[in-house]
């Protein structure tokens, strides 16, 4: 019995290195597998990033070239004004101004997104009258809506409180969302704009509801990512950089607010914004 026990102890002692070696090999194999998976994921991510970058560059080349061509073309015409009527000169000058303004908006959007991702975008909160901002946006968006014969319904609550927000950025948020609604809503359809205080009085709520084609959950994810509208030039159906919604979302978050999209394919889209009345805790964007 004693010899048997001693033999058992011997086997245990001799078996310990084998068990240790097995555990070590298992750990090594696990780490190799984990590393391989991480490398594959990184490769896929890099390929997607490269594809997105290439598509963005191709898309932006088109977006920037269009207003630049208009500016150059109409400028060349005005360089030789002989035979042009005063009304034509005024019209061509107006086209140059519109194209230049559009070009500046594109560049500003790209710079803003870059600042957001670097955590360097700063807002300047102050007491802001929301109906005044909405009225300003209405004057800008209505001419575009009339071109498409869209019916715009403005339902603004009379008891909206003064909020602490960056008025310029708030206007930028609303213009981006309204422009998208006008762009994607079919001619002769309807868009509803609402603003009301939350039940607890701590937030101001804004919504833009269109009767456009709507989006699937997957399409919403694409629309909310920077350059999300970027597609190949063969299947792209709408002009734009795809910066409007993600930039608006970043600016809303910078105000400590929330932006939510409710949409159903074929049934339109509703963009809902909630902004705190007391304003944001910080005026700086977090990196990412």
Query: In the chain, which residues fall in CATH 3.30.565.10?
Result: 126-276
Note the pLDDT tens digit of each residue in 173-230: 999 999 989 988 989 899 999 999 999 999 999 999 998 888 888 888 877 776 555 4
Confidence of residue 126 (pLDDT cuts 50, 70, 90): very high
- Beta bridge partners, 164, equal 127
User: Does the global pTM surpass 0.95?
Assistant: no
CATH 1.10.287.130 domain residues, the chain? 1-118
Per-residue pLDDT reduced to its tens digit, 223-247: 777 655 544 333 344 555 567 888 8
pLDDT, one tens digit per residue, over 129-166 is 999 999 999 998 998 899 999 999 999 999 999 999 99
Q: For 126-276, CATH number?
A: 3.30.565.10
Is 25 a residue whose pLDDT tops 70? yes
Architecture of domain 1-118: Orthogonal Bundle (1.10)
């Amino acid at each position: 019995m004693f010899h048997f026990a001693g033999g058992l102890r011997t086997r245990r002692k001799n078996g310990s290195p084998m068990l240790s070696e097995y555990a070590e090999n298992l750990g090594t194999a696990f780490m190799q597998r984990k590393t391989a998976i991480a490398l594959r994921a990184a490769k896929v991510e890099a390929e997607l990033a490269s594809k997105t970058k290439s598509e963005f560059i191709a898309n932006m080349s088109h977006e920037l070239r269009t207003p630049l061509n208009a500016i150059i073309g109409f400028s060349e015409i005005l360089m030789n004004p002989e035979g042009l009527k005063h009304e034509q000169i005024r019209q061509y000058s107006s086209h140059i101004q519109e194209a230049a303004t559009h070009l500046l908006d594109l560049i500003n959007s790209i710079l803003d997104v870059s600042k957001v991702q670097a955590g360097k975008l700063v807002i300047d909160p102050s007491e802001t009258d929301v109906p005044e901002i909405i009225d300003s946006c209405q004057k800008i968006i209505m001419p575009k809506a009339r071109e498409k014969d869209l019916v715009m319904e403005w339902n603004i609550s009379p008891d909206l409180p003064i909020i602490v927000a960056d008025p310029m950025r708030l206007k930028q948020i609303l213009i981006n969302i309204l422009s998208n609604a006008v762009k994607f809503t079919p001619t002769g359809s309807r868009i509803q704009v609402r603003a009301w205080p939350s039940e607890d009085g701590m937030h101001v709520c804004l919504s833009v509801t269109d009767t456009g084609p709507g989006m699937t959950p997957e399409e919403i994810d694409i629309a909310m990512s920077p350059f999300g509208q970027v597609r190949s030039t063969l299947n792209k159906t709408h002009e734009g950089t795809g910066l409007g919604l993600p930039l608006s979302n970043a600016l809303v978050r910078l105000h400590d607010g929330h932006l939510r999209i409710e949409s159903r394919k074929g049934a339109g889209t509703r963009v809902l914004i909630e902004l705190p009345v007391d304003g944001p805790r910080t005026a700086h964007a977090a990196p990412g």
